[in-house]
Structure formats: structure tokens, C-alpha cells
Amino acid sequence: MLQERSAMHVSHTPKGRRKNAAKSPFPSVKLLLVVSVVMDSGKQKVNGSELFYRRTGRGDHVVLLLPGALGSGQTDFGPQLKDLSKERFTLVSYDPRGYGRSRPPDRDFPPDFFDRDAKDAVDLMQTLGFGKFSLLGWSDGGITALIAAARNRSSVKKLVIWGANAYVSDQDVKIYNAIKDVSTWSSKMRKPMEDMYGPEYFTRTWEAWVEAMSDFAQRPNGSICRDVLPRIGCPTLIVHGEKDSMVPSFHPQYLLQNIQGSCLHLMPEGKHNLHLRFAAEFNRLVDEFLCQ
């Protein structure tokens, strides 16, 4: 297994330990205990693919972060990996096969690619030694998380999803086709993906994703994972940005109605990337839900 390590240093004075703290040779200067929060990363072979992951924190509650289409831990979850509590959580992000640094091989989109990603995600966590964990899934990662939670009830503690849908409607296909040509995107939107993949791979893979998503509309009821929703048994938080132009509001409502015991939180100013644009608010919401 390849390993890379970097350290983020957090300084604080723990409560209740003043009497045993080291004494400074200068009476007027207090010593701070420096705690190293390690971000470790590497690759694990899972189901025939080398999956890249990042892991940080030392908390008892283990959380896997699942990125969106063409996404990675680097591009999709910076504010979460940086700011969610390292004391309460152990955070793991991964790059699905064909995305980010989980290449080669190149990404492909067989009819069961969401099911494949769900199995990869759960098997990665088990390979890393985590038998029970929560899932945070954005967009495509939210769909993957829905399937993983439904098919691994004993492993998934809690589920948080946003920007996800259980089926593809004609309206969704129109949205996908409107953004298929990446040359029409702003340079700011293209840059992270072009930096990671290069323009050619990004363009080709995005077009393949649009075609794969559109194909779901030809299935009965446009289903991606409608049939598995009733099997989700863990507490589920659905977050939706009311200004999300990628996912119409009927999708989170459908999830709410079909996942037993789920709850829906609306963010009036939130768009598809609400966890990045409103990271502090989103992180507080996640922290409260996971710690309940």
C-alpha cells in the first residue's frame, strides 16, 4: 500500500489538566500542548481497482465522505476534512474508481455503476478496518450512499445526503443535456476538473456521465435506486439547497417520503455545492445530526 503523510498542527490547552501541565522556564509564558492531527493517504486494492483515500481525525465515530460526479476528496470535501471535529470523528474520503487519483483505469459507466461504487465504498472501509461507519454523500455520492446504506444495514450508522436523486425524469435529462458541453461552462467551473484530469479526459468523461445518467430515464419509472429506499434503516438527514439548479425540489421530497424516519433540512440560499458555499452552516448541521 502506498502511503503519503502530512501533518496539520493544532495548538490548545486541554481543560482540567493545568495541574499536570509542563512548567515554563519563564513564569509569564504559558506552554501550549501541541497536538498533531495527521492526514494520511494512500491506495488500497478493492474489487480489482486501486482506490485512493484520505483519512484524518481520531474520533470514535467513523465517517466516509462520498464525492459527486468526477469528484474526489480533494475537489469535493476540503472544508469538511479541515473543519469537522477531529476529536469526535475519524473522517475518510475516497476517489471512486476512474476519478481523481483512483486511476488507472479510466472511468467507465456500465449500467450498474452506482451499485459498483457502493460496493467499492463499503469494501474499502472494511479493508481499512472499519466495520461500522456513517456516510456523507453529495450528488452522485449521495446516490451511492443510498444504495450502500440499503444493502449494508448492519454497517451504516447514519446517513447524510444532499444533491441526490433516486430516479431520472425527463426534466433531469434536459438539465443534463444543457450542461453536457463543458466549453459553455465558466473557466472558474472548469478549472478544478481540468487541473485534475486535463481538458481531454474531463470533456470525454463528463459527456459519458451525461449519457449514462440520461439512460436511466429509459428504465421503468426512471429508477436509479427507487426499489432500495425502503430498506434503509439508519437515521437519515436529507439536505437540499432551494436554489439547486441541478436537482429539482421533487427529488428530496421523494426521498423524504420513501426513507422511513428520514428528515429534510432546506437551505434557502443553498445551491448544488451548498456544503462548500455554506461550509460552516453545513458542518454544524452534520455535527449535530451525527452526534445525536
Catalytic residue annotation: 139, 244, 272
Phi, psi dihedral angles at 281 (to 5 degrees): -65, -45
> 52 pairs with which residues across the strands?
43, 95
Helices (H) and strands (E) in the chain, counts: 10, 9
Q: Where are the beta strands (DSSP E) in the chain?
A: 3-12, 33-46, 49-57, 61-66, 89-95, 133-138, 156-162, 236-241, 263-267
Torsion (CA) 142, 216, 277, 12 in degrees, nearest 10: 20
Per DSSP, 164 falls in state -
47: left (phi over 0), alpha (psi -120 to 50) or beta: left
> Coil, strand or helix: which one is 35?
strand
